[in-house]
Chain A
């Protein structure tokens, strides 16, 4: 995974995290009796989802890179 891709995925993961916080505060928090519990659970959920998103992006990037390298290798071999 290149730095550029990591940056991109990281930025999206951050937006995802913030988005989950907003949605949680607006819609879900009312279901909790204690605000502090809600905040803890919210953070756990948001971090988990954001990290999962990042990892998925990373796996994809790695796979894509491998595929591209394989293609290049194939091309190079063909030429030889």
Chain B
């Protein structure tokens, strides 16, 4: 991964006669974290790999015989699995795009506000501090067609009153809306912090040159914000793909399976049907897809990390 030719820099740095070398020091520093991660990440992975090649219905005798690749064949041929992949992709695209666009827009809106920034920011933090499992419940209450406030207000305005969570054509979008509510402030706050951290000089120079607002945005603001926005994008994507809480509390995958995300299907297979073999196999597919995706998404970030780390 590293393109730098690691010539003989370390020797130079070992100037001050320490007890241990830099190399050992650096390894000692990561040791505590690695110990935890190795045990609690690798053991479950080994377990899942093992189980994915076996028959394993936990309610019937636990982990059983070796069955070769049968679980993989079955998962690949499982329509419900692919449907859940579709739901996850749809949800992730919709939620992440909406959150990024709205979040950035809100950040600009607040950034140029002259007064009350502190209080605005304080209020924006609130959804982040709550758990989807709890606030989701109250969104269910808001969405309710008989008692919910949303339809009540729509009724007052003589607008159509959709069955937010019961209509199979919009249930997924209602889950997206909930996610947007919870996470747009996160994007907005980070984008706002990014905006505020931007250096003043280039913008003053651009102003002197008489550059248009749009040109400033395109050539100065966005390029400078890009790293932080990219980071937020990656964070939100990883979280959205693992969508579970919101679905569990709002729709439980329903109506039918229209909101059944991959992780919810995984939950149903693993913790309702107790077919750990399929569940583990699906988890491995999931991991595989994420690894391939992150190889593309994260390599630039990691390269940046290691380049900066090996710079003197």
Contacts and interface: CB of A to CB of B under 8 A. Distances in A.
A and B in contact, CB less than 8 Å: yes
Interface of A: 2, 4-5, 8, 12, 15, 18-19, 21-22, 25-26, 29, 39, 68, 72
Contact of A25 (B76, B291, B295): B76
B69 A25 contact: yes
Secondary structure type dominating chain A contacts: helix
B292 A19 contact: yes
A68 B156 CA distance: 73
Given A19-B292, A25-B69, 16 more contacts: A2-B2, A4-B1, A4-B2, A5-B1, A12-B295, A15-B291, A15-B295, A19-B288, A21-B69, A21-B72, A22-B72, A22-B76, A25-B73, A29-B73, A39-B68, A72-B5
Interface in B83-100: none
A13 B274 CA distance: 33
A68 B73 CA distance: 47
Name, among A18, A19, A25, the residue most crowded by chain B CB atoms within 10 Å (CB to CB): A25
A22 B75 CA distance: 10
Interface in B279-308: 285, 288, 291-292, 295
Interface of B: 1-2, 5, 68-69, 72-73, 76-77, 285, 288, 291-292, 295
B41 to A, nearest CB: 16
A18 B69 CA distance: 12
Name, among A2, A15, A19, A22, the residue most crowded by chain B CB atoms within 10 Å (CB to CB): A22
Nearest to A38: B69
Nearest to B288: A18
B72 A25 contact: yes
Contacts of A39: 68-69
B102 to A, nearest CB: 35
Nearest to A65: B5
B240 to A, nearest CB: 22
A34 to B, nearest CB: 14
A25 B291 CA distance: 20
B76 A26 contact: yes
A65 to B, nearest CB: 8
5 contacts: A2-B2, A15-B288, A22-B72, A25-B72, A26-B77
A29 B70 CA distance: 12
A18 B295 CA distance: 15
Contacts of B285: 22
A3 B2 CA distance: 11
Contact of A15 (B73, B76, B292): B292
Nearest 3 CB-CB pairings of A with B: A26-B76, A8-B1, A25-B72
Contacts of B292: 15, 19
Contacts of A12: 295
A80 B221 CA distance: 46
B193 to A, nearest CB: 33
B207 to A, nearest CB: 43
Nearest to A26: B76
Contacts of B76: 22, 25-26
B5 A68 contact: yes
Contacts of B72: 21-22, 25
Contacts of B68: 39
Contacts of B73: 25, 29
A15 B289 CA distance: 10
Nearest to B285: A22
A72 B5 CA distance: 10
B1 to A, nearest CB: 5
Contacts of A25: 69, 72-73, 76
Contacts of A21: 69, 72
